[in-house]
Amino acid sequence: MIRIGAVSYLNTKPLIASLRDRLADRGQLTLNLPSRLADDLNEGRLDVALIPIIESFRTPGLRVISDAGIACRGPVWSVRLLSRVPIDQIRTLALDEGSRTSAAMVQVLLWERYGLRPQTVPLGMEQLPESVAADAILIIGDRAMHPEQGVYEQIWDLGDQWCRWTELPFVFAAWVARPGVDVSGLAEILQASRDDGLKAVQSIARREAARHGLTTEDLIDYFRVNLHYRLEAGELRAMELFRQKAAAIGLVRPADDDPGRPQGAAERFVE
């Protein structure tokens, strides 16, 4: 039985719509925060997981096994930087404990565009953004989808900022396997579950909206317009660029240090 982990946020519902049924007795699915999924995969508690893409650059041997993933091609809604000061004056930055990819992406953007390397502190899952003293706060996932409570000088939608700056999409997370795990047939299951989910977006949105304090229409747009669930050629170029930029500020190793480059594996899923 393969142990599979997926992100517990709303953004993942279309990817896992029919996953438990399609896996049947081949695999067991559990849900968790993106950062915890990466730790569980690295430490052998999971075999396959939907992990923050930056983690696939950090650990040699991890393989992207599907073209299903979480990406955006413009504003993403659920990944936001709340800044109490003008962006070019950020000196301290609180990073959502659930995040690894956006935590790196915001640092890349601040460095590339403003020459800033702010001091970072964690924002715990129980901590409210308005309760921390940092100049700016990164929040992701469901808690980033509601109107902010504090008073902020500037708010960035990080999907929008990245896509406009690079003229490329952005990839947040992908299905990744640990070395040595037999994943035969799994890519097809993950892709079919994503395709089922995209067909069922309206019913997923209807089911989830009220319990998250959102409207069905907004959630349909979130799934259909904000998020992009297929890793295509543009997404792969974006992953390469993100890796390079993150390596330039020491957040990951450069691609040519890694003989098992995950992008190599991901390319197999793209025409």
Ligand X SMILES: C=C(O[C@@H]1C=C(C(=O)O)C=C[C@H]1O)C(=O)O
- Give residues in contact with ligand X (CB under 6 A): 7, 9, 11, 34, 52, 70, 76, 78-79, 99-102, 140-141, 172-173
DSSP code of residue 106: H
Encoded tokens for 271: 């025409």
Least distance in angstroms from the C-beta of 102 to ligand X: 3
Q: Which is closer to ligand X, CB of 52 or CB of 169?
A: 52
Q: Which is closer to ligand X, CB of 76 or CB of 190?
A: 76
- Residue 243 CA to residue 254 CA, distance in Å, equals 7
DSSP code of residue 30: E
Least distance in angstroms from the C-beta of 182 to ligand X: 25
Q: Which is closer to ligand X, CB of 99 or CB of 161?
A: 99
**Contact status, residue 67 vs residue 194, Cβ threshold 8 Å:** no
Q: Which is closer to ligand X, CB of 5 or CB of 34?
A: 34
Q: Taking CA 236 as the corner, what is the angle to CA 235 and CA 242, rounded to the nearest 5 degrees?
A: 85
Least distance in angstroms from the C-beta of 160 to ligand X: 12
Q: Which is closer to ligand X, CB of 107 or CB of 191?
A: 107
Q: Nearest 5°: phi and psi at 167?
A: 55, 35
Task: List CB contacts of 225: < 8 A, sequence separation 6 or more.
Answer: none
- Residue 82 CA to residue 151 CA, distance in Å, equals 9
Least distance in angstroms from the C-beta of 79 to ligand X: 5
Least distance in angstroms from the C-beta of 25 to ligand X: 27
